[in-house]
């Protein structure tokens, strides 16, 4: 019996001893895999450029002009900027540039043909002595360079209107049959702005 136990013990010793290299190899592979797994990091080249008043691009300038014409509140400007970016990125009405989108006839009232405000807003520049417009430039820059994951509503959200600016507070024709969307992370006064997704084509008011 003792001999059998001794043989069994000896056999176990051999098995364990023979397994140690394999266990060591497993540990080495596991440790190596764990230690060398790359950790996602944002490279400096991936970060959006810092805002520089002396390096404002034409796209950002047109975006700023438009959002400034719609509201002077930064949070509302952000949402309007996303609507314009959505229009550009989806090629709404066949237009794929920021200048073209802003000047698209009868889309943004301040830029309508014959509007007395058109000359004022199209003349705004980074050199304009206006802290309020500089704010609009900063907002436009931030939205223009923002990651798509920061979009506060669906990409097809390309319309909005302000009840306060409508004659008699009436809703525009294009909003018929559509419910306003709620921007994620924002609290919007519906009397000031309502945003809509999925409107196929804008009609003249």
| pLDDT tens over the chain, length 205 residues | 433 434 444 443 434 344 444 444 433 444 444 445 555 555 555 788 999 999 999 999 999 999 999 999 999 999 999 999 999 999 999 999 999 999 999 999 999 999 999 999 999 999 999 999 999 999 999 999 999 999 999 999 999 999 988 888 789 999 999 999 999 999 999 999 999 999 986 544 3
**CA–CA separation, 141 and 127 (whole Å):** 16
Question: For 162-193, b where at least 16 C-beta lie within 10 A, e where not — what string?
Answer: beeeeeeeeebebbeeeebbebeeeebeeeeb
Q: Is 142 exposed, middle or buried (0-12, 13-18, 19+ CB in 10 A)?
A: middle
Per-residue pLDDT of 79-105, as tens digits, reads 999 999 999 999 999 999 999 999 999
C-beta atoms surrounding 141 within 10 Å: 25
Instruction: Spell out the alpha helix ranges (H) of 37-190.
Output: 58-70, 74-90, 98-103, 118-122, 131-145
Domain boundaries, the chain: 1-37, 53-197
Residue 47, pLDDT score:
83
The CA–CA distances, whole Å, from 19 to 8, 13, 29 equal 16, 10, 15
What's the rounded Cα separation, in Å, for the pair 100 and 201? 16
Neighbours of 143 (CB within 10 A): 24
pLDDT of residue 43: 56
Q: What is the DSSP letter of 142?
A: H
Look at residue 168 in the predicted model and tell me its pLDDT. 80
Burial of 196 (0-12, 13-18, 19+ CB in 10 A): buried
């Amino acid at each position: 019996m003792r001999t059998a136990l001794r043989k069994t013990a000896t056999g176990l010793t051999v098995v364990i001893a023979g397994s140690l290299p394999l266990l060591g190899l497993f540990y080495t592979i596991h440790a190596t895999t764990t230690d060398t797994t790359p950790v996602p990091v944002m490279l400096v080249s991936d970060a959006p450029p810092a805002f520089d008043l002396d390096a404002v691009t034409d796209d950002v300038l047109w975006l700023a002009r438009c959002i400034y014409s719609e509201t002077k509140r930064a949070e509302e400007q952000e949402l309007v900027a996303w609507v314009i970016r959505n229009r550009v990125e989806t090629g709404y009405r066949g237009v794929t540039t920021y200048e073209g989108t802003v000047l698209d006839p009868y889309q943004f009232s301040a830029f309508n043909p014959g509007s007395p405000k058109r000359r004022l807003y199209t003349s705004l520049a980074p050199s304009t002595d206006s802290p309020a417009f500089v704010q609009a430039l900063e907002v436009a820059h931030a939205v223009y360079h923002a990651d798509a994951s920061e979009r506060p509503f669906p990409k097809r959200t390309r319309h909005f209107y302000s009840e306060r600016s409508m004659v008699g507070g009436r809703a525009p024709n294009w909003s018929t049959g559509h419910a306003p969307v709620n921007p994620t992370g924002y609290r919007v006064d519906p009397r000031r702005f309502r945003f809509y997704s999925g409107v196929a084509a804008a009609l003249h008011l």
